[in-house]
DNA sequence: AATTTCATGTAACCAGTTACATGATTCA
DNA sequence: TGAATCATGTAACTGGTTACATGAAATT
């Protein structure tokens, strides 16, 4: 068995970044440290083992620069197999569970989607996203009503839920906006 | 040493919920399964060990119902020490790192704040939150500009960043709204 | 009688964190 | 020459996941 590849959010981020341009572990650390892309730790204890696993799985290939030095620099490039895995992962259907628990990962997927799958699929993704957020917002609003009614944990509890709703509504509105922008590009 | 208590988001959620009313492990599982409060797994492998650790640390105390049955039900109540730990955790100052990496945990803190710290502190928390989000949004917008300029990873990458900005802006707007609502309550 | 719900727990595993270690190169 | 940056790695730990196990009580 190909044993897939460890499909953590970190591995998706790494694969996506390397698919854009060859990068070393240190480059990835710098990216996670200096840019606001998702919630990835620049700790070497996370990145280097992840890179090794993905290389072992044949998704990325490392080129060594300065072979005979003590600490050679490894720059990784995505392989055909890795690109296929990335495409698969980016084109996986959005589930309700993604909406509820992994909105950040959906956004990460979208971030790489333009380059890897193209504009058409990106727009379709946003349509799907927006239309799935709407019923989720409805579900959250129903819960808000219930929570307000039984009203122990009053005051701030219900307001906190409102923030969650506002977050989803902002995301749906953003999706609609981006659909329009992409279409008129 | 009091060895604090494992300050994971899960332990905060458990402590906060138990501070509102006595709950068993199963009650917590049901809450995580059926209500949209944060991202907590209802897996027994997470909850029961966490409860034991917190009981061991003296933050919660379990009362056994049906002692002589094979599987007695344990209902946990918060102790004075636990309440103190909760208060401490809720009243910890907001850091920039919280804004960037742990917005969800800040919301969880706010959810329990009304009951535990009161309205005055909750309002102060929201002021602090909103005023810290604003410079963060500025930072994100600067990065957006940079990203648009060097424009490899074009198309969707920059738009994904926009979603992050929209999320923070929605949260700041929510905070301002709730401040007004709490004040006029 | 069979299924679902109540209810608690453990064992194997795994990803990620923290902290440490190494050493080259560049800059002040 | 000393500090910062480049650059890769490991070891110990830990929190959480998945899957399994047990059995009572209530429901169908």
**A-chain residues within 8 Å CB-CB of B141?**
none
What residues does A24 pair with on adjacent strands? A75
B94 neighbors B128 (Cβ within 8 angstroms): yes
Identify the DSSP state of A178. Answer: H
**B-chain residues within 8 Å CB-CB of A163?**
107, 110, 171, 174
Vertex B146: Cα angle to B144 and B152 (nearest 5): 95
Structure confidence at residue A2 (pLDDT): 41
Q: Which nucleotide is nearest to A73 (CA to C1')?
A: D7
CA of A43 to C1' of D14 (A): 16
Average pLDDT value for residue range A39-46: 94
Average pLDDT value for residue range A107-118: 97
Identify the DSSP state of A25. Answer: H
Identify the band that residue A68 occupies on the pLDDT scale cut at 50, 70 and 90.
low
Minimal CA separation from A70 to chain B, in Å: 33
Find the closest chain B residue to A166 by CA distance: B170
Identify the DSSP state of A60. Answer: E
* Rounded Cα distance, B16 and A117, in Å: 44
Q: What pLDDT, in 10s, does the model give residues A137-167? A: 999 999 999 989 876 656 899 999 999 999 9
DSSP-based three-state secondary structure for A24: strand
Selection from B62, B143, B19, B140 nearest residue A153 by Cα: B19
Q: Which helix (H) or strand (E) holds A116?
A: helix A103-116
Residue A102 confidence (pLDDT) above 90? yes
Mean pLDDT of chain B: 92
Residue A6 confidence (pLDDT) above 80? no
Identify the band that residue B150 occupies on the pLDDT scale cut at 50, 70 and 90.
confident
Structure confidence at residue B33 (pLDDT): 94
Q: Record the tokens describing residue B31, joined without a space.
A: 């809450």
Q: Does at least one atom of strand D sit less than 7 Å from the CB of B42? A: no
Residue B69 confidence (pLDDT) above 80? no
Average pLDDT value for residue range A26-53: 95
């Amino acid at each position: 068995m190909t044993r897939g590849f460890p499909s953590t959010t970190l591995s998706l981020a790494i694969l996506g970044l390397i698919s854009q341009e060859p990068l070393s572990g240190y480059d990835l650390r710098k990216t996670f440290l200096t840019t606001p892309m998702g919630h990835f730790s620049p700790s070497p204890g996370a990145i280097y083992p992840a890179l090794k696993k993905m290389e072992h799985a044949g998704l990325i290939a490392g080129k060594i620069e300065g072979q005979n030095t003590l600490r050679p620099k490894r720059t990784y490039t995505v392989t055909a197999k890795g690109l296929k895995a990335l495409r698969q992962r980016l084109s996986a259907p959005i589930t309700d569970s993604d909406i509820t628990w992994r909105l950040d990962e959906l956004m990460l997927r979208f971030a790489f989607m333009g380059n890897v799958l193209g504009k058409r699929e990106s727009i379709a993704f946003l349509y799907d996203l927006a239309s799935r957020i709407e019923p989720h917002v409805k579900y959250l609003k129903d819960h808000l009503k219930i929570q307000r009614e039984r009203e122990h944990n009053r005051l701030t509890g219900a307001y906190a839920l409102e923030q969650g709703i506002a977050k989803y509504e902002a995301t749906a509105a953003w999706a609609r906006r981006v659909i329009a922008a992409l279409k008129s590009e």
